[in-house]
Each structure stands twice: as C-alpha cells, then as structure tokens.
Structure 1
C-alpha cells in the first residue's frame, strides 16, 4: 500500500512507474482493482515469479518461500529491466530502482546494472534501527548469531530511545515455528548490507513520531504520512456501501474493527470478539475477511447478526482510507500493522490494540506507552481475550479525553509534515530532484 501511494506521488511529478510484484500478489491486486486501466499509462503493474509453483500455498510454505525468493527473483528482475531498457522507447528506460528493504537482493541487482537505487522502509524507523543493531546485539551477548534470545531483558538502543523488551524482537514474535523465526532473522540479517548498497533511504513516517529512531539512522528520510489510497492496491474487492451506512451514524460513535490482510484467529476467540462488540453497545463497522477464521466464513455466534443488525455493519473488505477519515468513526480497533498505525494517526483516531505478530507488538507498545494514544488488551489465564475485556477497554478508550487530545495533536503534527514546506514534503522534493534525469 505505501509503495503504491508513493508511486502515485511520483506519477504526479511526471515519472512513469513499473510496479513489480510476485505473480500471486499481482493477480490478487489486479482482480480487486476498481479502476482498471485508469493508471495504465503511468503505472504498469508487472509480475515476476517468486520461485514456488502455482499450486503451492504461500502461507504454509512461507519458510521455503523466503529461502527461494532471494535465489530466483533477482534473475527475473534483471531480465525484466534489460527487456525494458532494450526497447526502442528511451522514455521507458529504468532510471531508478525503488525497493522495499525486505527485498535486499534488489539492491544487488541495481548495483550490478549501475542503476541508482532507493531503499523504501515500510515499517517504523525504530524497527529498522533494531535490525541495523543486530551485529551489536550479537556482540553484546543478547542474541545468538542465529537470532535466538540468550536472556529475556530490556535493551536500550540509544539513551534517547525508550527501553525495548527483547521479547518484542519481531523475528521472535512469529508464533512457535522455529524454522520461520530463523528464516525471517536471516532476511533481517541481510538488511544492513542492503542499506549500505542503496543510494537513498526513505520511509513512511515523520520525524516527530520517532525522533530517537531517526537519530540512529540520520540518512533515513521520512516522507510520511503517506495516505494509502484505494486507487490501485488492495487484496479484496472493497465494499464501499459501508460509507453510506457511516453517513447515517452519529458523529464519533462508530468503532472501526479491522485486523489487516494476514491476521487469523480461532473460532473461540472470534466468538469472544463478536460478543464483545455486541456488549459494548456502540455502532461498529467490522471487516471480516473471508479467511479471518481459519479460512472459514459465516461462523458468527448463534443469533449475533440478527441482534446487532440495527447498529453493526459486517463487510469483507473496506475502503479503509475513507472509513478512517469519516466523521462518524470514533476509534480504530486494530492489529497495529505499520500501515494501519500511520493511517489511524493521520486521522486522529484512538487505538484499541490487538497485535497479531512480528513488529505489530512493538508498534502497540509505542501506541500505548510512548505516544499514549491507545489501550491494549489483556488475555485471561487461558490466553483468551474475553468479551468482557473487549467491552471494558472499548468503554475506557471512548471515554478518555486525554487520549483523544493526544491523537488530535499527533494528527496535526503529521499533517504539518506533508503540507507544503513541511519536513516530509521537503524530503520528498529532495528525493525527486535527486532521481530526475537531467
């Protein structure tokens, strides 16, 4: 999402974009497009293979996928660029490679082909600072060379940064699959080299949001908040009818519930969530993906849909940008992915935080403990988030004027950054000037 929005910003400045995805993600994005053909002249969506067969499940084969992508995709990317650059149209030549830092091999390709490259970091600056500190964490005896935790403790990456729990290291927050933890850590271990190879470094954040993170990475330039639009990128067709439903609700009354594109929960936890929303008594808009409950749909508690019909709206996928900006929305019940975090902050919304995995746990700690614009949920002795806990925290969040005030202040700061003359706006202009072919 942020890369697509960044692409649109570049198109607005006269660039042409070749947007490269894996074949599987490309197919999902194209299938969900609501504006087919509208941007084809300026943004060309192109797929390359990821190394797995079409019949292989990317969720169940994630370890294999992470290992094979770095071996297979560089060659396909290089061939794609050569094909484009050997065409007769000089206007279509690739003059800069902008890559997600999670694809470190892309910078090897850029260096090999003598093309300037920009590292785009789609998560928090604090998370990148953590990854760049991996060699020191190993030297200090905090983790092993394989990323295993030697001792559970609090660490301080810098004197100005809040202490971080080693339990929140993102590669350790991926469930109990050791193989997956190691595969992700191996990928993170490559990021420092990718940072050194890149000519430019940009991210979707703003300086006041994570000052200590940016102080550790002085060449990382924030250009956010980027507003993830629905112009090109989403995984499911959006149900825009929920916007007219929002129009009918009182101002600042609706709880918006959305846990991103990956979160999965079991049936018992799903039922507690549904019943918690019912107990709260507030209007709610809940994004229930087709695969939210272990791939099963239509699994609501008995009678739930009928009981909440007058004040609850259930959709498969929502136009999140428009929903979060709607005046009837009171708070964001979120998994705390960085994209959603930035979107909620940009709209001045309090958060009820339910992180699922990886960096979402770290983001939640910043939302609740550093920025103080949200509340977390406490599981019971069985690890279940109960309906009573959900009701209690939602009621507390909606009644907390201090949180509301801080969210609005943070929104104002973010908007000042992207307005003309703001720090993020100036960073973007500097980047545009640097990559323009003279």
Structure 2
C-alpha cells in the first residue's frame, strides 16, 4: 500500500485556507502526502506577505494553483462574484490537474480529495474520477447541523424556501442541542441569492464520505452526533500557521504586550472579512478610550477593494492602546498580558480564544457567528454579549460596561480555563480528535 496522497482545495478566504492548512500539516505529521490547491491570486498574495509557502515542500506538502476565473484587478471581496466565477471556471481544470500530479508521482497517486464549503463541485468531480472524497467544515459543528437540517426546517415551516424565518420563534435543531432564535440560523445576514446556492451545495457535499468538523464532542456534544458522517478532528491548532496569511503580520505588538501587566490588555479583532460601519467603528474607538486600560486593536488595512472606511473620530486619543493592521492572533491570545477578547465570533477566532482560556465579548456580524455567540455566552458561559441600542449600534458605554463586567467575573475566567483544559486533552495522542484523525487516514489508505 502506498501512503495516502490528499489533494486539498479550500474556498479562497483566510477562514478556509487556515484550517485546511492546519489539517494538511496534521496529515503530513502522520506521513501522508498533501498537494494544496490555491487560486493563482491567493498563492501570489500569501507568498508575498510571508514568503513561506515554498518552504513547506520538504514537509510533505506541495502547492499547485488553479485560476479563479477573475481578472487580476477584479474585486475579490465581492463573494458572490468570486464563487460564481470559481464554480463556472475551476471544475474544468481539475481532472487535468489530477492527471498531471499523478503523472509526476506514479507510485503515489491522489487517493482522496478534501474540499471546504463552496468547493463541493470538487467532491462531485472526485466521485466521477473514482477518487475518495471528504469535506472539511471550517465553522462550528452546530452550524453544519443547521445546514444539514435545511429540508426539515422548510418542511416544518420554520423557514421558507428562501431561508427566511417565517416568524420570530425559538427552535431546537436536535434534542441535545441548545435552544436558539430562528433568526440566528447561520445563513442569516446574507443576501437571498446565497440561499439557493447553499441548498445546492449541501447536495454536492453528499459526495463526501466524511464531514470533518474542526470541533470536539466536549464543545458541541449534540451537534457532532447529528449524523454518522460528522467526524470531529479539532481543534486544528497544529502550527503557528501564518504561512498562509494574506496580510503581513505586525509582530511589534508582541514586544508591546511584554511591557503590559498580566491580564490587563483588551484584545479587539473582527477577523478577515467583517467590515464595521463608520458609526460602529467610531463607537468602538471611543469605547476603547473609555476603558482606562491598555488595548490592542486589529484594524485591517483599507484598500480600494475592501471598502473599509476607518475614520477615527476627532475625540479619539487611543493613547493607552496599540493599533495594528494584522496580527499573529494565536500568539497574542496566549500572551499573559491579555485579559479578554472582543471578537466577531468567527469559528477560528472562537477556537483560538477558547484554547487560550480567554473570556469573550461578542459582536457577531453574519453567518455562523450568531450560533457561535450562543455557545460562548449561553452554553459554555465563557463570555458576554454586547447589546445593541434601538438603532442597532453597540455604544461606547456598553463596551465599557461589559468589559468591566467580564473582567470582574471570576466564574467566567474559571470556566474559560476549564474549557481550555478539556480541549487540550482532545488533541493529545489518545484524545478523541487524534483517534478520529487516525480513523480517517486509515480509511483513506
């Protein structure tokens, strides 16, 4: 038997590339071969920001590229345009790519294709090529469960065929899962044009024999048992994976953190996609000023494409804080100076925060972030919700009040540390996730 050779294809956003990169590193540690498919645009971008991709060859991983079908100057933050282009252009290139890779290494042909959400066509292609296929879900298992139950939610009249909730109500996806607001279902906040795509995509995912979840049954016991296809292999924290970062990380913040007292700094980051409205940006800035304590704030660089309009209000001093464009988040969260994390509750950030034992303040924007907030605040009880005023804004006073509340609450900190311990136990050699990863690799052989 040759060693398994995986072809892995992420949807080209940071929140998909990172977990798939971490998953690939876990596979290579088990002696597998991995060929990682980037879009040409992202490969260029990651190589220029960290220059690290080509150094991974000796670790059993190599990189290949496929075109995303857009012109170099096209706006890739327009996700509808991006995935329509990928779906229209990329599938035609895949069989040839597989053929070329196999010709290079006759003894180690590709044995399995792994793709993330929006790349389900690759699983269908694998099926046609007679290659095994698996799906890596990069968000929480609870949000995958919600997608899985779409037909039932429509049948039960909880949502209509467009994915909109039919009325304000609380629902429970399965008996061991928490009760949630129907409006927090993970396709909320997206344009209606996305929902039909999701329904189609779930059919594509049926071609994947396993649905790998970056989670554990300690974190989401009810969700991971929804289907025998769900296989928890998380948390994927293999490396300091900045090798796939699209932006240059500012590491001066680590030196700055070294000079701050233990558990004094409020860390603020809203991930790689969310954009704060100008009024909300202003409230966050002024709220941080009110804190009278040090803060570290990640404000993504604005580019013409990014439509980020970060105008700091005139009365903002920011004298106690440090503002950076992009940061090595895992290292920051594990730094002893960090007190709490004001987060958009994307799943990667949620896992990194939980794995570092850091209490949260939650400001979700879209998709699975509302479900993640439910788990953070109501299920694990390791954070607090930031509440909006009647105009839908989170005001500076609310930020100040909640930061004080979360830092004065010893129970939240104690639960954060307990949860951290549970997660560390999962990834050790005999932990559930390690065993599941081995089960998956043996299946691929």
Tell me: CA distance 1:218–1:357, structure 2 relative to 1, closer, same or farther (3 Å): same
Q: Is the 8 A contact 2:116 2:137 kept in 1?
A: yes
The alignment status of 1:383 with 2:392, answered yes or no, reads: yes
Q: Is the 8 A contact 1:167 1:173 kept in 2?
A: no
The alignment status of 1:38 with 2:49, answered yes or no, reads: no
Q: Is the 8 A contact 1:353 1:375 kept in 2?
A: yes
Match of 2:124 in 1: 108
Structure 1 Cα separation of the partners of residues 436 and 295 of structure 2: 38
Q: Which of 200, 222, 227 is the matching residue for 1:212?
A: 222
Structure 1 Cα separation of the partners of residues 443 and 177 of structure 2: 31
Which moves more between the two structures, 45-54 or 325-334?
Answer: 45-54
Give the TM-score taking structure 1 as reference length: 0.92
Which moves more between the two structures, 141-150 or 107-116?
Answer: 141-150
1:156-195 to structure 2, matched below 5 A, reads: 156-174=172-190, 180-182=191-193, 184-195=194-205
Structure 1 Cα separation of the partners of residues 368 and 26 of structure 2: 26
Match of 1:77 in 2: 94
Q: Deviations over 1:266-315 (max 9, x none)?
A: 32221211111111112111111113994345x323363xx433x31111
Structure 2 Cα separation of the partners of residues 172 and 276 of structure 1: 27
1:233-244 to structure 2, matched below 5 A, reads: 233-244=244-255
Structure 2 Cα separation of the partners of residues 55 and 34 of structure 1: 22
The alignment status of 1:224 with 2:234, answered yes or no, reads: yes
Q: Which of 18, 29, 43 is the matching residue for 1:12?
A: 29
The alignment status of 1:295 with 2:308, answered yes or no, reads: yes
Q: Which of 196, 199, 202 is the matching residue for 2:206?
A: 196
Match of 1:26 in 2: 43
Which moves more between the two structures, 24-33 or 319-328?
Answer: 24-33
Structure 1 Cα separation of the partners of residues 117 and 188 of structure 2: 19
Q: Is the 8 A contact 2:278 2:309 kept in 1?
A: no
Partner of 2:312: helix, strand, or coil?
Answer: coil
Structure 2 Cα separation of the partners of residues 185 and 397 of structure 1: 36
Structure 2 Cα separation of the partners of residues 201 and 36 of structure 1: 27
Q: 5+ residue gaps in structure 2? A: 1-17
Structure 2 Cα separation of the partners of residues 127 and 416 of structure 1: 24
Q: CA deviation at 1:34?
A: 4.8
1:285-324 to structure 2, matched below 5 A, reads: 285-291=296-302, 294-296=307-309, 299-302=311-314, 304=316, 307-309=317-319, 311-324=320-333
Q: CA deviation at 1:69?
A: 2.5
1:252-331 to structure 2, matched below 5 A, reads: 252-291=263-302, 294-296=307-309, 299-302=311-314, 304=316, 307-309=317-319, 311-331=320-340
Q: Is the 8 A contact 1:84 1:92 kept in 2?
A: no
Q: CA deviation at 1:264?
A: 0.9
Structure 2 Cα separation of the partners of residues 83 and 329 of structure 1: 48
Q: Deviations over 1:124-181 (max 9, x none)?
A: 111111111111112122222232332232222222221222211222222xxxxx33
